[in-house]
């Protein structure tokens, strides 16, 4: 089967919401291969603690690629303790220039409770506008829903959970089985 014929892995929605001193990253649990749900309870949001510095990361894309990137991010954080933005830029540089890493197909949303960043393979480290970031197949749905709630009295976790529920209602590659981490 040629690569272009392979249906590919789909099924991730990750959202990061920063509001009222609270930062939350939430992700759904669905992994699909083509039109088939392979797993509904995947854990795509993780806590990292390199050198006692706590970071929450959510990933979209190939699981093996994402784990490779998370390991690299941990190493960068160990080299630059307490400096998430710097570690993220260093990871993005490596990702863009290293022949092996260039082939990785994933994206990350990361936070240390202060910064909320999106890291891409194109060399981008983005701080989202409006304190909301979303990636994955249902990311645009979750982003729109969360942005609409940011002026409400809802806290960051409630905004993230309700935005994910809306994305799960719209995107067939997203389910309502959430992992939510606050920092």
Q: For strands 116-119 and 125-126, give the pairing.
A: antiparallel
Residue 12 bears catalytic tag: yes
Which position among 12, 13, 80, 111 bears the catalytic label?
A: 12
Q: Which residues of 99-133 are buried (b: 16+ CB within 10 A; e: fewer)?
A: eebeebebbbbbbbeebbbbbebeeebeebeebbb
Structure tokens, 100: 């092996």
Between CA 31 and CA 47 the distance in angstroms is: 20
Q: Which residues are catalytic?
A: 12
């Amino acid at each position: 089967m040629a690569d272009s014929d392979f249906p590919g892995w789909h099924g991730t929605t990750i959202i990061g919401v920063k509001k009222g001193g609270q930062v939350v990253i939430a992700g759904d649990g669905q992994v699909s291969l083509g039109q088939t749900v392979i797993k509904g309870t995947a854990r795509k949001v993780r806590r990292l603690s390199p050198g006692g510095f706590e970071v929450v990361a959510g990933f979209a894309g190939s699981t093996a690629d994402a784990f490779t990137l998370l390991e690299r991010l941990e190493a960068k954080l160990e080299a630059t303790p307490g400096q998430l933005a710097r570690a993220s830029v260093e990871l993005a540089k490596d990702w863009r220039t290293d022949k092996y890493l260039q082939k990785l197909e994933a994206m990350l949303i990361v936070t240390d409770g202060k910064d909320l960043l999106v890291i891409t393979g194109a060399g981008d480290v983005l701080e989202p506008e409006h304190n909301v970031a979303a990636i994955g197949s249902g990311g645009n749905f979750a982003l729109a829903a969360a942005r609409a709630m940011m002026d409400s009295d809802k806290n960051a976790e409630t905004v993230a959970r309700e935005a994910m529920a809306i994305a799960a209602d719209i995107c067939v590659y997203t389910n309502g089985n959430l992992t939510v981490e606050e920092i």
